[in-house]
Amino acid sequence: MSEEDAGSTGNWFDVLPRKIYASLEKVETSQPWYDVYRIHDWLYALYEGGQYDEALMYLVIGYERAVVIDGGTGIGHLDKLVEELTDKPYFLLLTHTHNDHIGGCKDFTEIALYDDVMSWESAAKGLGKDKMGEIIEEGYVIRDYPEDFDPDNYYAPPYLVTQWLQDGDRVDLGGRTLEIVYTPGHSSNHISLLDREGRYLYTGDIFYTGGVTSYLPGRDHDDFITSCRKLVDLMPHYDLLMPAHNEPLVEKELMKEMLKVAKDIKAGKLKNYKESRSIAVNYDIKVRRYQFDRFVLTTRADL
């Protein structure tokens, strides 16, 4: 993620602040763990800029209800933040269930998630201190924790899914609809969200400007290629990518580049890579890291 940021050297936070945020309207709130940016009256970016993963969530507001896309680390109080930004009833929708996306589930009574065995296991078990602790390893946090956050008791409890999603489902917020696009590859339960009217594609972790991976548990590089192709085919229906890390409002042409390099890696056409063991705790996997101008793609070495 940030440590694998394309073009970065030294500390992960050396690339901060990211240029895009200077052009956006910052909204002050009582939750300083989050940086909040108003993109439209109906759309906010909720950014955890003080933590290595730079989790980026979105609040999308319809006439009848609002949705938060992804739950981030759960270090802050995502529910309290949302209630400062809208008076509409709200729920959480997850693009997938890795640790930096489900931390905030504890703050929500309504959660939507893709119907998949990886999702069932996540909801039933949550994640313990060992896995969530990866998020707050030494050097991974550069901002003060909220006063009531206890790093020694940091875990993600089981959570109740109130809506199981399928490919092609439409989530109606009242005057605004998000279309579920099943995009496995980064994980088996990964989805993207298409707002045809707003012309945004919420990409989760299938694309962002940083270290994208197709080797984590539940991953499949062939699925990753298929999903990228699916999102490229949808390009006539969106103008900008809204990733789940680092920065929003990314030019959609980078989706084509991601598809091309994923295919070239599979075909053995790319020879410029760094080979190493996975840096992630509990994933003792030999990986190859391919770096490009705006992103990194890390795959299994035995691909």
In CATH, what number is assigned to the domain containing residue 77?
3.60.15.10
| 206 neighbors 224 (Cβ within 8 angstroms) | yes
Q: Is residue 256 part of a domain?
A: yes
pLDDT surpassing 90 at residue 282: no
Q: Is residue 221 part of a domain?
A: yes
Q: Is residue 291 part of a domain?
A: no
Is the previous residue joined to 17 through a cis bond, with omega within 30 degrees of 0?
A: yes
**Consecutive H or E run containing 125:** helix 117-125
C-alpha to C-alpha distance for 14 and 2, rounded to whole angstroms: 10
For 49-107, what is each residue's pLDDT tens digit? 999 999 999 999 999 999 999 999 999 999 999 999 999 999 999 999 999 999 999 99
Q: Is residue 287 part of a domain?
A: no
Residue 275's nearest CA partner among 215, 186, 208, 219 is 215
Please give the residue range of the domain that contains residue 192. 2-271
| 33 neighbors 48 (Cβ within 8 angstroms) | yes
Counting residues of the chain whose pLDDT is more than 70, the rounded percentage is: 95
Look at residue 302 in the predicted model and tell me its pLDDT.
84
Read off the pLDDT band of 261 (50, 70, 90): very high
Strand order in the sheet with 296-300: 211-213, 296-300, 286-291, 274-277
Counting residues of the chain whose pLDDT is more than 90, the rounded percentage is: 89
Q: Is residue 297 part of a domain?
A: no
Number of domains in the chain: 1
**Entry pTM:** 0.95
Q: Beta-carbon neighbour count of residue 115 at 10 Å? A: 15
Look at residue 130 in the predicted model and tell me its pLDDT.
96
